[in-house]
C-alpha cells in the first residue's frame, strides 16, 4: 500500500472535517493532492419526492432539515414560493419579522461556519466562542417559537407568532453586544500570521469560474461578484432596509472569510433597522383558505374551528401553474421550483440548494494543494450536507 508513489485516501464520510457526511476520495502524492472526487448521497432522504406526497402545509417542516443550522431562512424560501404560487402578499409586519428571523438564522449559521472553519485550521477556542454567541441566537429563536433547531417559524401567508416583549428586549441586548464579539473574533484571527498563512492565496476562485460553476452566496461574493438575492430581487422587507453587500477581491479562502465576517455585521445592522421600523398590524393575511386561525379562537369560535379543520384536512389549494422563487440563505441562493396541478399537493418540486453547487468546485480548487488546505477549502465554501443530499 505504501510502496507506490501515489496513495488513495478516503476522507470522510465520518471524517471530522467533512462537515457531516461528505466523502472525498483524494489521490495523493505525499501530502500533495493530485485529484479529488467528492462523493455525495450519504444523507439522501428523497426530500423532493416526499414533497410530492405531502400537502403544502405538511411539507414545511421538511424544509427546516435542508440546511439544519439556518432553518428559518429555508422556511422563508419555501413559504415565499407557495405564496408566489397563490399570488398573495403578506402583511408589512410579517415581512419585517421574516427579515429579523432570516438574519438571526444568517448570524447563527455564520457562527457555526466560523467555529468549524477555525477549528479545522486548529484554532480551538474560536469554536467555543462562536457557539457561546450562537446559543444566544438560539435562545431568541426558542423564545419566538419554542424550538431551537428545526423551528418551522414561518407560515404560508405570514409568520407563526408575533414578537413578544421578552424577545424584543433580548434581541436589543444581543444586537448591542454582538459587534464587540465580532471584533473579538477578528482580533484573534484576521491579522494572525498563522491564520493569514493558512488562508491567503489558497483556493482561489476567479469571478468567471464562480459564475460558471453556479456558485452563490459568500462563495460567489468572495470572488468579487456582487450578487445577493436580497438586493437583486428584494423580498420580504429588504427593499426598505439599508445594508451593504460585502465582496472579496482575490477569491481566496481569506476573502471568503472576510466576506462572511462583514455579513454578520451587516445582519446585525439589518436586524437593528428592522426592529426600529417594525410596523404594527397583523402577522398573517386574513384568508380562511390559506392561514390558520389563532389557537385562542378555537375554543370560542365555531367558524375558526371549521376553518382550522378544513385547512388541516384539505390543505391549501393553489391554482395550476409553476413558480420559481428564491431567497438569500446564509450559504447562497435557495430556490424552490413548484409545479402545481391545482391540488393540495405539488405535482413536482425541485429545490435549488446553494451547497450542492458550491461543493462542485472542490475538485477544481484542490488540485496541487495539500491535505491541510483541503479542510480549509471545505470550510471556506461552508457546506451543509442536508441540502446537498436532498
Q: Which residues bind another protein (CB under 8 A)?
A: 1-2, 7, 9, 15-17, 31, 118-125, 128-129, 132, 188-189, 192, 194-195, 197-198, 370-375
Check the CA dihedral 118-120-125-127 and report its sign: positive
CB of 199 to another protein, least distance (A): 9
Q: What angle do CA 230, 236, 240 make, to 5 degrees?
A: 75
CB of 341 to another protein, least distance (A): 48
Indicate the pairing of strand 7-11 with strand 23-29: antiparallel
CB of 103 to another protein, least distance (A): 25
Write down the number of H helices and E strands in the chain: 16, 8
Q: Is the distance from CB of 226 to CB of 245 less than 8 angstroms?
A: yes
Question: Grid coordinates in use for 278?
Answer: 417594525
198, containing H or E segment: helix 193-199
Q: Which residue has the cell 388541516?
A: 312
Half-sphere exposure for 75 (CA within 13 Å, toward CB): 30
Nearer to another protein, 87 or 201 (CB): 201
Nearer to another protein, 2 or 295 (CB): 2
Nearer to another protein, 32 or 343 (CB): 32
Reduced to 3 states (helix: H, G, I; strand: E, B; else coil), residue 242 is: coil
29, containing H or E segment: strand 23-29
Nearer to another protein, 118 or 258 (CB): 118
CB of 139 to another protein, least distance (A): 16
49, containing H or E segment: helix 47-53
Nearer to another protein, 129 or 336 (CB): 129
CB of 10 to another protein, least distance (A): 8
Nearer to another protein, 1 or 296 (CB): 1
Q: Which of 70, 47, 27, 136 is nearest to 383 (CA)?
A: 70
Torsion of CA 201, 204, 208, 209, to 10 degrees: 170
CB of 258 to another protein, least distance (A): 16
Nearer to another protein, 48 or 135 (CB): 135
C-beta atoms surrounding 3 within 10 Å = 4
CB of 360 to another protein, least distance (A): 23
Q: Which residue has the cell 461552508?
A: 382
CB of 27 to another protein, least distance (A): 12
Nearer to another protein, 17 or 223 (CB): 17
CA distance 219 to 247: 10
Q: What 8-state DSSP symbol labels residue 318?
A: P
Amino acid at each position: 500500500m505504501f510502496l507506490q508513489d501515489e496513495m488513495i485516501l478516503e476522507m470522510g464520510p465520518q471524517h471530522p472535517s467533512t462537515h457531516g457526511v461528505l466523502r472525498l476520495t483524494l489521490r495523493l502524492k505525499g501530502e500533495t493532492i493530485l485529484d479529488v472526487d467528492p462523493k455525495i448521497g450519504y444523507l439522501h432522504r428523497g426530500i423532493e419526492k416526499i414533497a410530492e406526497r405531502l400537502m403544502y402545509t405538511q411539507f414545511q417542516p421538511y424544509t427546516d432539515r435542508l440546511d439544519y443550522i439556518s432553518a428559518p431562512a429555508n422556511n422563508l424560501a419555501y413559504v415565499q414560493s407557495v405564496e408566489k404560487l397563490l399570488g398573495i402578499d403578506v402583511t408589512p409586519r410579517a415581512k419585517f419579522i421574516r427579515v429579523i428571523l432570516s438574519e438571526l438564522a444568517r448570524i447563527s449559521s455564520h457562527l457555526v461556519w466560523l467555529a468549524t472553519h477555525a477549528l479545522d485550521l486548529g484554532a480551538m477556542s474560536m469554536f467555543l466562542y462562536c457557539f457561546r454567541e450562537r446559543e444566544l441566537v438560539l435562545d431568541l429563536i426558542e423564545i419566538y417559537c419554542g424550538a431551537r433547531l428545526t423551528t418551522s417559524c414561518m407560515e404560508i401567508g405570514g409568520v407563526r407568532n408575533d414578537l413578544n416583549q421578552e424577545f424584543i428586549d433580548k434581541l436589543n441586548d444581543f444586537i448591542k453586544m454582538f459587534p464587540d464579539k465580532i471584533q473579538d473574533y477578528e482580533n484573534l484571527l484576521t491579522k494572525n500570521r498563522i491564520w493569514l498563512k493558512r488562508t491567503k492565496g489558497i483556493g482561489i476562485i476567479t469571478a468567471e469560474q464562480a459564475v460558471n460553476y453556479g456558485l452563490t452566496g459568500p462563495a460567489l461574493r468572495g470572488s468579487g461578484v456582487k450578487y445577493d438575492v436580497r438586493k437583486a430581487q428584494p423580498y420580504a422587507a429588504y427593499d426598505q432596509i439599508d445594508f451593504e453587500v460585502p465582496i472579496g477581491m482575490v477569491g481566496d479562502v481569506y476573502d471568503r472569510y472576510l466576506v462572511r465576517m462583514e455579513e454578520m455585521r451587516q445582519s446585525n445592522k439589518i436586524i437593528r433597522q428592522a426592529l426600529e421600523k417594525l410596523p404594527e398590524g397583523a402577522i398573517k393575511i386574513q384568508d380562511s383558505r390559506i392561514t390558520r386561525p389563532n389557537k385562542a379562537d378555537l375554543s370560542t369560535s365555531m367558524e375558526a374551528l371549521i376553518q382550522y379543520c378544513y385547512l388541516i384536512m384539505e390543505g391549501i389549494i393553489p391554482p395550476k401553474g409553476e413558480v420559481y422563487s428564491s431567497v438569500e440563505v446564509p450559504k447562497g441562493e435557495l430556490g424552490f421550483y413548484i409545479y402545481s396541478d391545482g391540488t393540495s399537493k405539488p405535482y413536482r418540486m425541485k429545490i435549488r440548494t446553494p451547497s450542492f453547487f458550491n461543493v462542485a468546485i472542490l475538485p477544481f480548487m484542490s488540485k496541487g494543494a495539500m491535505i491541510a488546505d483541503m479542510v480549509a477549502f471545505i470550510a471556506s465554501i461552508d457546506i451543509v450536507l442536508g441540502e446537498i443530499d436532498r
